[in-house]
Amino acid sequence: MDAVTIDFFEERTSRAEVLIEGLPGIGHVGKLVAEHLIHELDARKVAEITSCYFPPQVIIEGDGVARLARNEVYLSEGEHPAAFLVGDYQSTSGEGHYVLAEAYLDVAQQMEVRRIYTLGGYGVGHLVEIPRVLCAVNRAELRGEVEAAGGEFSEDEPAGGIIGASGLLLGLARRRSLDAVCLMGETSGYLVDPKSATSLLRVLSALLGIDVDSTQLQDRASEMEQVIARLAEIHQARQDDELSYIG
Amino acid sequence: MDAVTIDFFEERTSRAEVLIEGLPGIGHVGKLVAEHLIHELDARKVAEITSCYFPPQVIIEGDGVARLARNEVYLSEGEHPAAFLVGDYQSTSGEGHYVLAEAYLDVAQQMEVRRIYTLGGYGVGHLVEIPRVLCAVNRAELRGEVEAAGGEFSEDEPAGGIIGASGLLLGLARRRSLDAVCLMGETSGYLVDPKSATSLLRVLSALLGIDVDSTQLQDRASEMEQVIARLAEIHQARQDDELSYIG
Amino acid sequence: MDAVTIDFFEERTSRAEVLIEGLPGIGHVGKLVAEHLIHELDARKVAEITSCYFPPQVIIEGDGVARLARNEVYLSEGEHPAAFLVGDYQSTSGEGHYVLAEAYLDVAQQMEVRRIYTLGGYGVGHLVEIPRVLCAVNRAELRGEVEAAGGEFSEDEPAGGIIGASGLLLGLARRRSLDAVCLMGETSGYLVDPKSATSLLRVLSALLGIDVDSTQLQDRASEMEQVIARLAEIHQARQDDELSYIG
Amino acid sequence: MDAVTIDFFEERTSRAEVLIEGLPGIGHVGKLVAEHLIHELDARKVAEITSCYFPPQVIIEGDGVARLARNEVYLSEGEHPAAFLVGDYQSTSGEGHYVLAEAYLDVAQQMEVRRIYTLGGYGVGHLVEIPRVLCAVNRAELRGEVEAAGGEFSEDEPAGGIIGASGLLLGLARRRSLDAVCLMGETSGYLVDPKSATSLLRVLSALLGIDVDSTQLQDRASEMEQVIARLAEIHQARQDDELSYIG
């Protein structure tokens, strides 16, 4: 079996100008913004990604149908088509993070994207009145454009590093001569954070040159809170029951 | 060495209509029902499965003969032959769960089964007077038949996911266009639960269209309790003695 | 790089009638007996085994020379040559235990051995006045001979399983139609146990049909206690310093 | 993807007489000395090494540009060119330590080095007035030269073993008939230790036959303390946020 399986739904891979990654992470800021954009831009699902590096479980959907834990690629129509990478989980192992990030880049290159945006949260451990959007790039020349859009660069934050797909995509894309920008919304990190997501969406919209309504971010955050609570419950159950498998 | 080894005992692989998985899990409900059926239907062992993803140990049988930790495939005779997947352990690692589940599906396809039933427990953490049988399917069209047999679907349970072989078999079978149904007996999860197994057996019998005596489930549960206590003891010993290997 | 490297020192692999495994384990009973035999029978080292599944470290010998953590194969001369498998460590991972055990069997088959003896301890957690030697075989027909030599079989002990190389060698050898017997000296498990080793040596000598002096077992146990304390110290250091590598 | 990627910057691999390894470790003594030498000898970077065995993250540099966690190879000019192996992290897994050490040896052999020096700390858990430099070699004949340079050999220290790259390089180099010497500066292990580094530098300089100014070691230690605190912070964050990825 392959460590990662990518299933494209359409015979001919569609092109996109950018790939926007919003996988689960701190405060679920990236996930919230990416899923909001998918909804607002009416993007359609074009691929599913499964992997033995995702947790060994299925998700049960509302109709009682089980499906593998997975990541998904969506594509928006229009003059400037954008691809979105969202999903249930990130890798369960360190090596898997690298293997999956390379697979995501393969998808990006198949879709001929010219730039990758990775979205995440920057956890500060306390409530934030006006969340900043901290940024990183994988080529110095990208910095000016990001600052013009309202993104901030801070020499001391995020304490030197970005963990998981949002970080690795920048590092590994550089090797493929692919531009990548990471946007991190400042957040307490405790809950799904619509305020941080609103700040992040503002900067991303400016970079994409589109206008996106953010009024539904609050509602979407509440829904997501529930879904995430359920996934966390499974994770807890998995750890509790680990002994069940072995005796 | 191969990660998974499947040894068929007979030269020509026998066919079965269904594969019924009952590996160790919560409350050992699935294991109890599957082993009960093997006994009641007088099924014979047709294959053994070993893997480096099982714990690194041997089991000592009553006559002092050691054998590898393993899973086993049994086959019942008759007009509607059924295959059973039972065994000592599930995978010790997340990746291993995927690799093993794919191997189980290879077995299912070699035996040309048309449907997979995975059996498990749904732990609720408290004693249950009348255990429900919660279900999941891997194709929406299967749901009606399962409900007609007494299986229940609950939007909020089992909190969105099924962990281990019982879950992965559904998700991975879908990719192979193979129907699969998961039946989970409600259980406290503390002990081998014959009451939950009786409920589960009733639903499964209806789905299989067979009539199975359940009077010996109680006795079998008591025996299994002892076997499982011994396996758990080894597992504990393994963790305690880990230092012995390295110094 | 290969997961396991076996370096034979002699151009032509020597033959042995039996392979006696005495790797580190509970109470170091097996290690003590195997090293005692190597000394008493004046066996010479014929091969070294290294592996990425051993701890990532070197051992420093008395002269300040560092060498990889390793296992070693010794060979005794005479009418009934015997091979011995001893060493610093067992595998650090579950999968590695399987991979290494298969490699040990490759060595056994290259040397054309007809039987494998695996030696270990059976920890009971309290001091034992007259230590029994509990046994397991990988073919029922071997049992009579082992009992005649003083080995005991107990239906309830060792609680159904044997962990690590001593167990896996039995299970995996059966698949290669190679006879294997495990001898476990009853021990408290707290210290290197010369008393348990004396009992074990008596049974093994009878099985091998040789006469071995056991008077030096006590001294050898004291020396080994010191070596093991040093290896355990490294192991502890490794765990303490793990953070040093990553920040 | 390859487990380890080595990118040489120059078309023709430059030769070096020795390779000096100073990766992160106890008291960061080796890292401090190696980076000091790189600065004092005005060495230029000739290669970068990345691996899925490094933590799954990027480091953000002062200008907001993210780069993969990596190791680096530097080369000093002059009559006796020396290569240096330094970097952010060591392997996150035991197997990875072996794979990476073999890759480092490949680099050494491509550069045709004749000897490897690995630098590290020897943690004693208390402040040390006059830090000794404890040593190990991978061939007994090297010992005299090391002692003449002021290195010490102690039968009981470092308690029999050296963990990580500094140790494995000695063990694995021996198999390639490549000489290697490990120098360990005695240190409390609590902080970046310039005093221990000064002792270590003195012995290493004597062995290399060069004269290196050590006056800036104290300042460099203070700077490094800050960098390391940031990397440790990321590591802590990674562990805290692990749940974010899976729920």
Instruction: Indicate the pTM of the whole model.
Output: 0.93
Q: What is the DSSP letter of D9?
A: S
Q: Residues for chain C: how many in total?
A: 247
* Amino acid at the residue C209: G
Question: Which of C146, C134, C225 lies closest to C186, judged by CA?
Answer: C134
* A171–D66 CB contact, under 8 Å: yes
Residues 134-193 of D with CB under 8 A from C: 135-140, 143, 153, 155, 158-164, 167-168, 170-172, 174-175, 182, 189
* C52–D28 CB contact, under 8 Å: no
* B153–A64 CB contact, under 8 Å: yes
Nearest residue on chain C to D159, alpha-carbon basis: C230
**SS3 assignment, position D187:** strand
How far is residue C235's CA from residue C212's CA, in Å, rounded to a whole number?
A: 34
- Band (pLDDT 50/70/90 cuts) for residue A65 is very high
Say if CB A14 and CB A55 are below 8 A apart.
no
How far is residue A69's CA from residue A85's CA, in Å, rounded to a whole number?
A: 14
- Exposed, middle or buried by CB within 10 Å (0-12, 13-18, 19+), for A202? middle
Q: What is the pLDDT of residue A17?
A: 97
What H or E segment, with its residue span, contains residue A203? helix A194-208
**CATH no. for residue A183?**
3.40.50.10900
C57 interfacial to chain D (CB closer than 8 Å): yes
User: Between B58, B233, B245, which is nearest C168 by CB?
Assistant: B58
Q: D233: distance to nearest CA of chain C, Å?
A: 8
* A163–D237 CB contact, under 8 Å: yes
Chain C residue numbers touching D159 (CB-CB < 8 A): 230, 233-234, 237
Question: Which of B53, B131, B64, B130 lies closest to B90, judged by CA?
Answer: B53
Q: D107: distance to nearest CA of chain A, Å?
A: 20
Q: How many domains are contained in chain A?
A: 1
Nearest residue on chain C to B232, alpha-carbon basis: C159
Q: What are phi and psi of A133, to 5 degrees?
A: -115, 105
Chain B residue numbers touching A237 (CB-CB < 8 A): 123, 159, 161, 163
C62 interfacial to chain D (CB closer than 8 Å): yes
- Written in H, E and C, the secondary structure of A65-94 is EEEECCEEEEECCCCCCEEEEEECCCCCCH
* D95–C247 CB contact, under 8 Å: no
Question: Which of A241, A112, A86 lies closest to A176, judged by CA?
Answer: A112
Per-residue pLDDT of chain C in tens (247 residues, 90 and over written 9):
789 999 999 888 899 999 999 999 988 999 999 999 999 999 999 999 999 999 999 999 989 999 999 999 999 998 899 999 999 999 999 999 999 999 999 999 999 999 999 999 999 888 888 999 999 999 999 999 999 999 999 987 877 689 999 999 999 999 999 999 999 999 988 788 899 999 999 999 999 999 999 889 988 888 888 877 777 776 666 555 554 554 4
Alpha-helical runs (H) found in B7-93? 29-40
Give just the sign of the alpha carbon dihedral C177, C178, C181, C182.
negative
Of A135-139, A188-192, D13-17, D111-115, the one with minimum mean pLDDT is A188-192
B-to-C residue pairs, Cβ atoms closer than 8 angstroms = 133
C242 interfacial to chain D (CB closer than 8 Å): no
Q: Which residues contact D146 (CB under 8 A, 6 or more apart)?
A: D135, D137, D153, D181, D183, D203, D207
Say if CB C118 and CB C105 are below 8 A apart.
no
Per-residue pLDDT of chain B in tens (247 residues, 90 and over written 9):
789 999 999 888 899 999 999 999 988 999 999 999 999 999 999 999 999 999 999 999 989 999 999 999 999 998 899 999 999 999 999 999 999 999 999 999 999 999 999 999 999 888 888 999 999 999 999 999 999 999 999 987 887 689 999 999 999 999 999 999 999 999 988 788 899 999 999 999 999 999 999 889 988 888 888 877 777 776 666 555 554 554 4
How far is residue C243's CA from residue C214's CA, in Å, rounded to a whole number?
A: 45
Interface test with A, best of B70, B95, B190, B228 (most A CBs within 10 A): B95
- Band (pLDDT 50/70/90 cuts) for residue D38 is very high
Distances (CA, A) of A119 to A23, A129, A137, C190, D60: 8, 20, 12, 53, 16
What H or E segment, with its residue span, contains residue C75? strand C71-75
- Band (pLDDT 50/70/90 cuts) for residue A243 is very low
* C56–D137 CB contact, under 8 Å: no
Say if CB B19 and CB B83 are below 8 A apart.
yes
Q: What is the pLDDT of residue C29?
A: 94
How far is residue A226's CA from residue A220's CA, in Å, rounded to a whole number?
A: 10
Q: Which tens digit of pLDDT belongs to each residue from D151-191? A: 999 987 877 689 999 999 999 999 999 999 999 999 988 78
**SS3 assignment, position B59:** strand
A23 interfacial to chain D (CB closer than 8 Å): yes
Chain A residue numbers touching D231 (CB-CB < 8 A): 160-161
A-to-B residue pairs, Cβ atoms closer than 8 angstroms = 132
**SS3 assignment, position B39:** helix
Q: Which residues contact C7 (CB under 8 A, 6 or more apart)?
A: C47, C48, C49, C50
Chain B residue numbers touching A47 (CB-CB < 8 A): none
Q: Crossing angle, helix D217-245 and helix D194-208, to 10 degrees? A: 110
For B175-192, b/e burial (b = at least 16 CB within 10 A) is: eeebbbbbbbbbbbbeeb
ipTM score of the complex? Answer: 0.91
* D25–C241 CB contact, under 8 Å: yes
Region of D181 (left: φ > 0; alpha: ψ -120 to 50; beta: rest) is: beta
Nearest residue on chain A to D227, alpha-carbon basis: A160
Q: What is the pLDDT of residue A157?
A: 80
Q: Which residues contact D182 (CB under 8 A, 6 or more apart)?
A: C66, D117, D118, D119, D120, D135, D136, D137, D162, D166, D167, D169, D170
Tokens 């009553």 map to which residue? B62
Chain C residue numbers touching B57 (CB-CB < 8 A): 161-164, 167-168
How far is residue C211's CA from residue C188's CA, in Å, rounded to a whole number?
A: 27
Q: What is the pLDDT of residue A202?
A: 97
Q: Check pLDDT > 80 for residue A165.
A: yes
* D65–A25 CB contact, under 8 Å: no
Domain ranges, residue C82: 4-245
